[in-house]
Amino acid sequence: MSTFPKNFLWGASSSAFQIEGAWDEDGKGKTVADYNSFKRSHLQADSKVASDFYHKWKEDIDLMSELGLNIYRFSISWARIIPDGDGIVNQKGIEFYNKVIDYLYEKNITPFITLYHFDLPYALVEKYNGWESRECAYAFEKYAKICFNEFGNRVKYWQVHNEQNLMMRVDERMNIEEEDKWKADKIRAQMDYHMFLAHALAVEACHQLVENGKIGPAVSSTCTYALTNKPQDVWAAKMNDWMKTNYCLDIHFTGEYPGYYMRYLKERNIVPIMHEEDKEHLKNGKMDYIAVNYYRTLCASYLPADEENPIGSRVFRGNQVDFDQYGYCRDEKNTNLEATEYGAQIDPMGLRIVLNEYHQRYRLPMIITENGLGAADVLTEDGKIHDQYRIDYLRAHIEACSLAIEDGVNLIGYSPWSVMDLLSSHQGFKKRYGLIYIDRDDFNEKNILRIKKDSFHWYQKVIKTNGEIV
């Protein structure tokens, strides 16, 4: 017998700039995601066409219906609704998402919408450096209210920011071009604060404007193991989780910055400017549920800050630059785990740990909105994609969800990344996550045909049997 409750939400996920294409069609404005993808157009596909969902949305929703999805998790492009971020509303943008939402309902698929998935309208960067300004939080509130008013009669599940906790550490996502590391971190801390304020304002607005609306953050979850059982290594691993993820959930939950995070901000002398009147909003703007994005686990050893490794320094591993290390820890390889061809350490048990951990801390409903395996899939001569490795990955993680439910976790749904192949941040269409193959490569769009992968057929059975056949 399946442990998944009867009304469990089986879904699949995507985000606007990674699938829609039509980057400047029907009045859409340029976004930070477009801007950065154009900078790499010579190396990989950019957001101009992506998976062409903007033109093929009907065919794609038909496929989602065939797959049997109960929910579809996607994002609205802010710059399609308000091209310059805080000015005039673009009716064509509203019309597009209305068509998508209505057709999803026609096919019995519930929309599960993210308001902001890495694609800040670029005009706001030109105007006041985006999230560095308080104005950006108010612009976001305005945009969120438009979405709630236009779509809230049908859409009840909302996510505010996708992975604020992760995007904050990636300069490109935040459009931080400051070379000086301390100054960059000061800007980052201020941006983070404004995003928390924007989150709270959006939660308040959703509760006012959307009848029975549920809203929360989508976090990039972390589960960090200590390299050894030395107390310092254990501390480093804990700090990694607290500083990279838990601080964010704690703020959404309590409305206050936790002590361990304030201590870091103070030590580094980068405490953001906070207004007294924000306190009430932060307190009121509590999340209703947590959307969890989970791909892998991490491993850390203790790395005290010193002259060679100052706080906020970056650790270089081969060609890869790791995130800021906050002066506590260093990323390590976990030799007990296999890794994907792109280096993500595969760990279904880690998902069970994460779900239990967040359940113990917050006692809120949770849904997994991203989980998946990026691989260079091959279209074989028989016109198929035999992605058994993806099935194995998803199966093991769904089993971990089932165990977590038995542990008492209130998990309401599972929505893997991604419904279809899409524009991956640094590997374009080389690295694929989809259940549906998009027949294009980075420099040849071909006809962008849709092909069902083996994982599509497998997931179809999982949904049909409510997780009994995994």
Which parts of 65-223 are beta strand (E)?
71-75, 110-116, 157-162, 214-220
Amino acid at 351: L
SS3 171: helix
Nearest residue (CB) to ligand BG6, 177 versus 341: 341
The answer to whether residue 431 forms part of the interface with ligand BG6 (CB under 6 A) is yes
Query: Which helix (H) or strand (E) covers residue 404, if one does?
Result: helix 388-406
Work out how close the CB of 267 gets to ligand BG6 at its nearest, in angstroms, rounded to a whole number: 28
Q: How many CA atoms lie within 13 A of 177 on its CB side?
A: 7
**Is 370 an active-site residue?**
yes
Find the part of the chain contacting ligand BG6 (CB under 6 A) among 37-45, 160-168, 186-194, 318-326: 160-168
For the chain, the residue count is 470
Indicate the residue whose CB is closest to ligand BG6. Answer: 424
Q: Considering 141, 150, 172, 370, which one is annotated as catalytic?
A: 370
Place of tokens 């949305």: 57
Catalytic residue among 163, 172, 204, 332: 163
Smallest gap from Cβ 130 to ligand BG6, in A, equals: 18
Contact 198, 280 (CB under 8 A): no
38, containing H or E segment? helix 32-39
Q: Least distance in Å: CB of 209 to ligand BG6?
A: 26
Stretch touching ligand BG6 by CB under 6 A, among 158-166, 264-272, 278-286, 351-359:
158-166
Query: Taking CB under 6 A as the rule, does residue 80 contact ligand BG6?
Result: no
**Least Cβ distance, residue 433 to ligand BG6 (angstroms):** 7
Does residue 163 bind ligand BG6 (CB under 6 A)? yes
* # of chain residues touching ligand BG6 (CB under 6 A): 14
Indicate if 163 belongs to the active site.
Answer: yes
- 144 near 208, Cβ under 8 Å? no
Question: What is the full DSSP assignment across 420-470?
Answer: B---BTTTBTTSB--SEEEE--SS--TT-EEEE-HHHHHHHHHHHTTTS--
Q: Does 425 bind ligand BG6 (CB under 6 A)?
A: yes
- Shorter beta-carbon distance to ligand BG6: residue 327 or 372: 372
Rounded Cα–Cα distance for residues 19 and 38 (Å): 15
Minimum CB–partner distance for residue 36 and ligand BG6 (Å): 12
Contact yes or no for 345/339 (Cβ under 8 A): yes
CB of residue 431 vs ligand BG6: minimum separation in angstroms? 6
Q: For residue 85, which of 141, 164, 39 has the smallest C-alpha distance? A: 141
- Lookup: tokens for 93: 């943008």
Question: Contacting ligand BG6 (CB under 6 A), which of 85, 216, 374, 413?
Answer: 374
Binding segment (CB under 6 A) for ligand BG6, from list 87-95, 103-111, 282-290, 424-432: 424-432
Among 86, 172, 331, 370, binds ligand BG6 (CB under 6 A): 370
Active site residues: 163, 370
Which positions touch ligand BG6 (CB under 6 A)?
A: 15, 18, 162-163, 166, 220, 293, 370, 374, 417, 424-426, 431
